[in-house]
Structure 1
Amino acid sequence: MSDIRSFSDKTKADDKSIGFDFQYYYFLYRILNLKTGQTVGLEVKDDVHSELDADFNILFQIKHTVKKNAEGGAIALTELDTDLWKTMRNWSEIIIDKSEGRTGVPQQLDYVRKTEFHLVTNKSLSTKNEFIAKIVEFQDGMCDVNTLQVHLKYLEEKTEDDTIKGYIRTVAKLEKTVLDAFLRHLKFELEVDDIIQRCKQALREKIIAEDKIDFVFERLDSNIRSENFFTVKNGESIVISFEQFSAKYRRLFDGGRSKQLQYYQFSPEVPADIFAQRFIKRLVEIEDISPDDEEDAVEYTRHKLRMTTLLSRWVQAGDLVQDEVMALHEDVVLRWRNNFRGAFKKCTNSAAVIEVATAILKTLRNERFQLSADQLPTELSNGELYHLSDIGRIGWHQDWKEND
């Protein structure tokens, strides 16, 4: 089999998509760790950046790989890794950026001393990566910048990749005191492969109940993605402060700490033959919908399925117990019976029967039923009616039982 990868393989969307998602979730993780007066940005000053108190910045370069080692984990960050040296080159160019006024050593030193540079990747640390080992020694005071300059020269000569040679050369060209300050503020966050779990752990640390973690995460994820989309669409930068985050999303966290039922957002898949459902047949009998009114049939089916799915989720999550669900069903059946009993006594023809049946349905559709301590929204209250009709406990036409 040929080892040559096709152009499509080299550019396939899956690899790029997971890289973008990794960057986004790291951004979300940083948001969840914001403190008063701090901000986080996405693709503004770097892949991700954070502005801390006293005009101090942290730049995050985010690198993700789908390549695996023999054990099935992510490959290691090697000493001559393109991700490593491209990142180092990028930061070096930022440090000496003349358009930002950093034309001389004083300005460059002032910038570096107020900035940390973090390479964040799911790659593991190679035991043969002497560069990172020497950075650790340098930051621990075990060697000086001269040692690192010598090692940079060694790496430039060692590699046969002209692109990586150029990257290393750019770093090595930094003025000695600037290079010293830069390398002291260099950080490596390796093996960051559980970024979604890190986000969820941050939610736990905000005193979100364990059974509400996924719910809060899903809503927060959805809302921030939407916010980012509209921000970019409006030509604005994605930057959020602690104060903005708190103001916009406080309700999500309040909901995660509340004992009230959480109404998960989802769109249930409807069955292929919608009109074969018992409750739909009951509605057709009283001409609430016509036999070809697929749009309303789909809408009512979704109401029913959302209600039954949520009841199941709440019971499984421990938010409800089964007797509370049964109490809801019995209460709604009793309300139906109170409206249905004797309603058809004065009906002399089928048109009158349909008129009364429709009136009963309309009355109950306008009610909002009580489930434990919660008053259900109209959609779910209607879904409860359709569910009870579907399992044969209630109907609308005076002869609905005979029509089964």
Structure 2
Amino acid sequence: MAKERSHTEKTSAGDKSIGFDYQYYYFLHRILNLGVGQSAGLEIKDDVHTQLDADFNILYQVKHTVQTDASGAPVALTELDADLWKTLYNWSKVISDEVEGREKVLAQLDFVNKTEFHLVSNKSQRDSNKFLRLIIDFQDGGVKFKELIDHFNGLTTKDEDIKKYIDTVATLAIEVKKKFFENIRFELELDDIIARVKRSIRETFVDEKKIDYVFERLDSSISSDNFMAVKNDMTLLVSFEDFTQRYGKIFDEARTKKLVYYPFIPKIPDDIFAQTFVKRLIDIGDLSFGDVEDAVEYTTFKLRLSRHLDIWVQIGDLVQTEVVKFHSDAALRWKNEFKGTFRNCDTEAKILDAANELLKILRRQNFILDETTLDLELSNGELYLLTDDKRIGWHRDWKQHD
């Protein structure tokens, strides 16, 4: 028995939000499965649609529920389910849309012959839904159309909305209904839609350990494109060619041996000025205690570098010996510059000038890790990480400052 929910729970923004997200991620799944010459749209011809060629479309009505049964699983799609009948109602209105020139039966038949209608939901499928079972059996040749249509004609309900939906489907001509019912498909029990998207990414020959990287970048890019489309009163339509041109680089980078970057927001320490590297930068006048913004930025660089090294080792892109060598190479670069920097520095002012020059030189360098040239943020982060580890310093007498 489904858990009863309060009116507030039924109308919560969270329920609506997850429904929109479910629809969006199903759209993402669909565009990942496009072929040459095909396209997919979000909220254009339906919740989601794909155009397989100039003459054939698939319309998707995407329905998500947060209601669960006694076992905690999403509730079943019942025979008189509002989601089921509102979906069939919407499709019936599309089929007979006079604005699209389909007021005549022949035009409606032409349309349904070139269209599939998919109901996608996380709701479960049960044998107790006789109407759904009869549609599937009719399509498989297990029952005659008469048995299906007789059951359809005998459906009754006290719910006025559902009654209106059923009555609208009933207004379709019998030959249109027959072809319509032949072309309805049910994709039920699709609960973990993000897992489905990631499986689609894996099936594009992306290494399993880089699936999350591709998913996060693709999700961010397409979400931004959809936001801009809505903002400009447009719709998001993506063809196979668009997809490869606009997002193909994400997959190309994931398939190379180059290390890939992962987005994350680091947790900044409560006392950023207590960090060793910050103290050493203050020693030479590169930072002061009032430079909070710069101190936070440099700390972010350090934490990004540290986090990426951990991720790359965890997922197997690097082994620990390569990380050790990377640190040693960076420290050697510092040492080579350090040795000559402080020659002829006989005053504290000259020492500080030389220290800042040394820092400037190394901040401009991109370090290389396992054939990947790191960006300046991560390269600078390595300098700050090594400073924290007390392997390098900036003042000539930096070891005496610890």
TM tier relative to shorter chain: over 0.9
Q: Which residue of 1 aligns with 2:124?
A: 124
Match of 2:222 in 1: 224
Q: Within 1, Cα distance between the matches of 2:384 and 2:133?
A: 66
* CA deviation string 1:253-303 (max 9, x = no partner): 111211110011223121111001000000001000111100100010000
The yes-or-no answer on 1:246 pairing with 2:269 is no
Q: Secondary structure at the match of 1:58?
A: strand
Q: Output aligned runs, 1:327-366, within 5 Å.
A: 327-341=325-339, 343-366=341-364
The change in CA–CA distance for 1:342 and 1:171 in structure 2 (over 3 A counts) is closer
Equivalence map 1:3-402=2 (5 Å): 7-156=7-156, 159-341=157-339, 343-402=341-400
SS at 2:116 equivalent: strand
Distance 2:247 2:5 in 1: 45
Cα drift, residue 342 of structure 1: 5.3
Residue aligned with 1:295, SS: helix
Change (3 A) 1:142 1:375: closer
Q: Which moved more, 1:7-16 or 1:199-208?
A: 7-16
TM-score w.r.t. length of structure 1:
0.96
1:367 alignment partner, SS class: coil
Q: What is the alpha-carbon distance in structure 1 between the residues aligned to residue 10 and residue 65 of structure 2?
A: 13
Write the letter of the residue equivalent to 2:399: K
Counterpart secondary structure, 1:68: coil
Deviations 1:310-334 (A, max 9, x none): 0111111111111111111111212
**SS of the counterpart of 2:186?**
strand
What SS class does the counterpart of residue 100 from structure 1 fall into? coil
1:5 CA displacement: 5.6
How big is each residue's C-alpha offset from its partner over 1:189-223, in whole Å with a ceiling of 9 and x where there is no partner? 11011211111111221111111111111111111
The alignment covers a number of residue pairs equal to 400
RMSD across aligned positions (CA): 1.5
Q: Which runs of 5+ in 2 are unaligned?
A: none
SS of equivalent residue, structure 1 residue 146: helix
Larger CA deviation: 198-207 vs 40-49: 198-207
Take 1:269 and 1:259, find their aligned partners in 2: how far apart are those partners?
A: 29
Q: What amino acid maps onto 1:59 in structure 2?
A: L
C-alpha displacement at 1:232, in angstroms? 1.7
CA distance in 1, matches of 2:355, 2:140: 82
1:30 maps to amino acid: R
2:393 counterpart letter in structure 1: G
Q: List per-residue Cα deviations over 1:221-258 (Å, max 9, x = no partner).
A: 11111111112222222111001101111111111211
CA distance in 2, matches of 1:75, 1:378: 52
Distance 1:380 1:388 in 2: 12
Conserved? CA contact 1:231–1:238, under 8 Å:
yes
**Could you tell me whether the CA contact under 8 Å between 1:149 and 1:172 is conserved in 2?**
no
Percent identity over the alignment? 55
Q: Match of 1:282, as an amino acid?
A: R
